[in-house]
């Protein structure tokens, strides 16, 4: 039996935000092919540096991994940026470059821990159509997503691009607009299933799944 394990943050661990609808892992358990099962190790609120700790609970029969993380890192840094004044536009760009370098180190280290398990692995971008999201935050997310894409492709991974999947307000929870709704969770789960259906074998080629 194939066993898919979800790592990361509340993009997968969204049950508390959809009390009247299926969570992402619920959708997956209904949509995976016969002979598959899914487990949730992702934890609401996690940042990239915490994902390696989730691997301590990895089931012995895990066969495939999906990682969705980075949004909480972006939230943390957006707060820092808002509080720190800059004297010029070049200073602002330098500050963003410093943040990007830090996140890239953290994401690369996390991905290394996951890939050390030598299991087919998929990475997710951070969605950016969140209702009410400021344009400045959308711009900041592009920085984080560029790093996710660069590191995932450098590692030869297929990427599930949530920016092209959760594109409507109804895809986000009314309880917390940064979390997927039941509908959004269903779309995310559907993309994961499509990623697993690679005709060349899961995780064997660089692809973008939407």
Residue 210 · residue 164 · CB < 8 Å: yes
Question: For residue 17, what pLDDT band results from cuts at 50, 70 and 90?
Answer: very high
- Distance between CA 95 and CA 86 in Å, rounded? 9
Number of domains in the chain: 1
**Could you report the per-residue pLDDT of 68-92, keeping only the tens digit for each?**
999 999 988 776 555 566 566 676 6
Residue 17 is part of which domain span?
2-209
- Distance, CA of 149 to CA of 123 (rounded, Å): 8
Closest CA to 194 of 12, 28, 8: 28
How does the average pLDDT of the chain come out, rounded? Answer: 91
User: What is the CATH number for 144?
Assistant: 3.40.50.1110
- How far is C-alpha 151 from the chain's CA centre? 13
pLDDT in tens, 162-208: 999 999 999 999 999 999 999 999 999 999 999 998 655 544 556 78
Q: What CA–CA distances, in Å, run from 196 to 142, 158, 192, 207?
A: 26, 10, 6, 11
pLDDT at position 99: 84
pLDDT for the residue 64:
97
> What is residue 196's DSSP assignment?
H
Q: pTM of the predicted model, to two decimals?
A: 0.91
């Amino acid at each position: 039996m194939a066993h898919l394990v979800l790592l990361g943050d509340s993009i997968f661990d969204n049950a508390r935000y959809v009390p009247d609808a299926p969570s992402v892992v619920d959708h997956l358990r209904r949509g995976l092919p016969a002979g598959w099962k899914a487990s949730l190790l992702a934890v609401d609120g996690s940042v990239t540096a915490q994902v390696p700790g989730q691997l301590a609970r990895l089931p012995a029969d895990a066969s495939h991994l999906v990682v969705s993380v980075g949004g909480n890192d972006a939230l943390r840094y957006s707060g820092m940026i808002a509080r720190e004044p800059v004297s010029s536009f070049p200073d602002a760009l330098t500050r963003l470059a410093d943040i990007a370098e830090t996140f890239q180190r953290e994401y690369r280290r996390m991905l290394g821990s996951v890939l050390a398990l030598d299991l087919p692995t998929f990475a997710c971008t951070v969605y950016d159509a969140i209702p009410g999201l400021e344009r400045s935050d959308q711009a900041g997310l592009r920085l984080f997503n560029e790093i996710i894409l660069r590191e995932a492709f450098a590692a030869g991974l297929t990427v599930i691009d949530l920016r092209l999947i959760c594109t409507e307000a109804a895809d986000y929870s009314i309880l917390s607009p940064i979390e997927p709704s039941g509908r959004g969770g269903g779309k995310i789960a559907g993309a994961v299933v499509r990623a697993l259906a690679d005709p060349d074998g899961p995780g064997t080629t660089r692809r973008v799944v939407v």
